[in-house]
Amino acid sequence: MAIKYTKHFLDKLENLFAASDYMLRYEKGSFKSGYCVLKDTKIVIVNKYFPLEGKINALIDILGELQFNPQDFKEKSAQDFLKELKQTQLKF
């Protein structure tokens, strides 16, 4: 699966977080990587000043770090999308 830097692709990534236990927020911050993951409270914060490409790359990095399991999602579309993402050359 090729990563597409479109608003629709960003929406699909955001929907994965919405279907998970983690809350996704866009806020300003001085985190070096452009995002922050608070695992104890299950909050993911991404720099709101990132361009579209930066937000997508950050969310993909976070998905790799959190190791979501496709079976944990109720919706088949979320499961399929996550499986496709795992098969990209990023290998997270």
Q: Is residue 58 part of a domain?
A: yes
pLDDT value at position 41? 92
What's the pLDDT band for 29 if we cut at 50, 70, 90?
confident
Q: Is residue 44 part of a domain?
A: yes
Which tokens in the block code for residue 57?
A: 């790359």
Q: Is residue 32 part of a domain?
A: yes
Q: Is the pTM of this model over 0.75?
A: yes
C-alpha to C-alpha distance for 81 and 24, rounded to whole angstroms: 18
Render pLDDT for 58-73 as a digit per residue (tens, 0 to 9): 999 898 888 888 888 8
| DSSP letter (8 states) at residue 80 | H
What's the pLDDT band for 15 if we cut at 50, 70, 90?
very high
Range of the domain at 55: 7-86
Q: Is residue 56 part of a domain?
A: yes
Q: Is residue 91 part of a domain?
A: no
Does residue 17 sit in helix, strand or coil? helix
pLDDT value at position 52? 94
b vs e for 55-77, b when ≥16 Cβ sit within 10 Å of the residue's Cβ? Answer: bbbbbbbbbeebebeeeebeeee
What's the pLDDT band for 32 if we cut at 50, 70, 90?
confident
* Other Cβ atoms closer than 10 A to 38: 12
Q: Is residue 40 part of a domain?
A: yes
